Structure 1
Amino acid sequence: MGSIWEIDFYSRPILDANQKKVWEVLICESPADVGKSMDSLFRYTQYCPSTEVNSGWLRTALQEAITQAGEAPIKIRFFRRQMNNMITKACQDIGIPAQPSRRALVLNQWLKQRMEEVYPQEPGYQGGTNPSVRLERPLPQRLPDALEGKQWAFVSLQAADFAEMSEWEIGFGEAFPLEIAQLSPETRIPGVLIFSPRALPIAGWMSGLELAFLKFDTTKGERLILETGATESWILENIKNPQILAEAKGFEEAKQKANGVHFIGVQSDPDAQSFTGFWLLQEVNLP
């Protein structure tokens, strides 16, 4: 399996000689497992004059990045919806699928680092925020009936337990190095396990989405929500039982203590020794 890349193409808090915003493309490899070293991830960056912001310029930058990396990725993730057309066009022109996704953990960390350490050193730097355009998000959808789990449970593991994740028997799934979240080995990482005789189609359906994170939501009742893609979300469960409600609150509290890290697993039944699906997730605040 080839690599997956994360991309951001947007204006930065820097003005050129004509007092126009300087744009920049950031490209980085998206780690797929816990054993990947952050230092080994491919990265590429290039500034773009505001007069040349178009899919053609971006296509050329992508081609240069592929040359530097030595191979093309199997897909490219991006989180800024307002850049959808330009990024999708540039990727299509070189034959790589582009996927709206909030699973841009390395890119998010890199952007924060550049905002703090790199851009302030550039001529024309303009302090303050460089907000992204906020677009309206659709309401959470109900899961298709065929994909609802027969039962599910809140569980937790220590961060140290994930050191052996590469040895677990997992069908569909994805992870990332926990050094991204800077957790101690003793940190409890909360998760949700879904059990169903239809574990395979459930995990297969999930693998076709860009899983972002799970959250306990109280805006309209008390619900467990699965966030996917750039804006999509799904209602995993409407919670009524007081005991499960307490566990859901505990899940959310533990997730915050673990810097947003959590997981979701799919198994055929509670006694299964393997995972039909397992995803390590992190909730982050993207620009």
Structure 2
Amino acid sequence: MGKTIWELDFYSRPIFDENRKKRWEVLICESPMDVTQAPDTLFRFSRFTDNQSVNSAWLKGAIQEAIAQAPNPPQRIRFFRRQMNNMILKACEDAGIPAAPSRRTYALTQWLDERTKSVYPQEEGYDESAAKTSTVQYPAMNAIALPDAVRGDKADRWAIVSLPAGDFAELPDWEIAFGESFPLTMLGIDDQTPIPGLIIFSPRATPLAGWMSGLELGYLHLETKPVPRLWLETGASDSWILVDLKTPDTLKEGQEFEAALARAHGVHFLAIQSPQESEAFAGFWLLKTP
């Protein structure tokens, strides 16, 4: 049995009770871990409560209720809402489940979007003027260099490439030491859609991939100032410099990568490979921009 990870949100919704107080809701869903999972088989749990019950004790009880209903208990919980950090961490700790802030809450974000459009407006007390997008904005942070222990040297190379979405159906058969993916069917992506990605070839491929596997990998993005670079966004707000785009040609590649992201619904990948390996990957992650 593979590991089970949950994604959790606990926050107010644009629904008011008779005292004109917002109702709160906990949403819990299972993280898809590979491309073969059918989205409709992923565990989901939701509960509303009033604003008087917004505390770690109530949330702990909701988590325990979800665990009792789930086919498999989680080994870890991810959450994206930083303003709820302390309460969520406390509730998860009291429930005996490790938790971490993460921008890899792809299934939860999609579910929250669905509920914002089709569920909440049907609830008594819904107020459209109080509705907010589920996309959470993060403050800009300065990216830092990778740790010395995993940083490559002049032997490192990189390439921006693309693969048809249909090729990822064979991903479970690829030799991958560290990684995580999700079903592209979750986003309705056509098999012919090109999925852009970054491959890093490094003599330290295994240490680099192993180190990355301990992070909550969110997404890659192009940062143009002060120096054009591709950043890796992890956790709730961490940023890492992956490659410098030092020439007009490499900058153009980075810009084409960003353009391809828009056509692929934000889906892309990061691969880590040893220069000596032509088939195996030390690391391979499917990612998605917010």
TM-score (ref. length: structure 2): 0.94
Distance in 1, matches of 2:224 and 2:46, equals 40
Where do 1:202-221 residues align within 5 Å?
A: 202-221=208-227
Identical counterparts, % of pairs? 55
Distance in 2, matches of 1:121 and 1:227, equals 36
Distance in 1, matches of 2:68 and 2:197, equals 39
Q: Give the match for residue 175 of structure 1.
A: 181
Q: Which of residues 121, 132, 137 is equivalent to 1:130?
A: 132
Q: Give the match for residue 157 of structure 2.
A: 151
Count, aligned residues: 284
Distance in 1, matches of 2:203 and 2:137, equals 40
SS state at 1:145 partner: coil
CA drift of 1:187 comes to: 0.6
CA drift of 1:137 comes to: 4.6
1:274 lines up with 2:280 in the alignment: yes
Unaligned regions of 5+ residues in structure 2, if any? none
Amino acid at match of 1:141: I
Distance in 1, matches of 2:258 and 2:251, equals 11
Amino acid at match of 2:119: V
Q: Give the match for residue 260 of structure 2.
A: 254
SS state at 2:282 partner: strand
Q: Give the match for residue 52 of structure 1.
A: 53
Residue pair 1:148, 1:236 contacting (<8 A) in 2 also:
no
Distance in 2, matches of 1:273 and 1:29, equals 31
Q: Give the match for residue 106 of structure 2.
A: 105
SS state at 2:128 partner: coil
Residue pair 2:8, 2:78 contacting (<8 A) in 1 also:
yes
Where do 1:173-252 residues align within 5 Å?
A: 173-252=179-258
Question: 141-150 or 239-248: which moved more?
Answer: 141-150
Amino acid at match of 1:121: Q
Distance in 2, matches of 1:181 and 1:38, equals 10
Amino acid at match of 1:104: T
In structure 2, relative to structure 1, the CA distance for the partners of 1:131 and 1:95 (3 Å cut) is same
Distance in 2, matches of 1:137 and 1:83, equals 19
TM-score (ref. length: structure 1): 0.95
SS state at 1:251 partner: helix
In structure 2, relative to structure 1, the CA distance for the partners of 1:169 and 1:67 (3 Å cut) is same
Residue pair 2:138, 2:237 contacting (<8 A) in 1 also:
no
Q: Give the match for residue 37 of structure 1.
A: 38
Distance in 2, matches of 1:111 and 1:198, equals 39
Residue pair 1:26, 1:43 contacting (<8 A) in 2 also:
yes
Question: 68-77 or 17-26: which moved more?
Answer: 68-77
CA drift of 1:247 comes to: 1.2
Report the aligned-residue RMSD: 1.5
CA drift of 1:197 comes to: 1.2
CA drift of 1:216 comes to: 1.1
Unaligned regions of 5+ residues in structure 1, if any? none
CA drift of 1:142 comes to: 1.5
Question: 97-106 or 135-144: which moved more?
Answer: 135-144
Where do 1:3-18 residues align within 5 Å?
A: 3-18=4-19
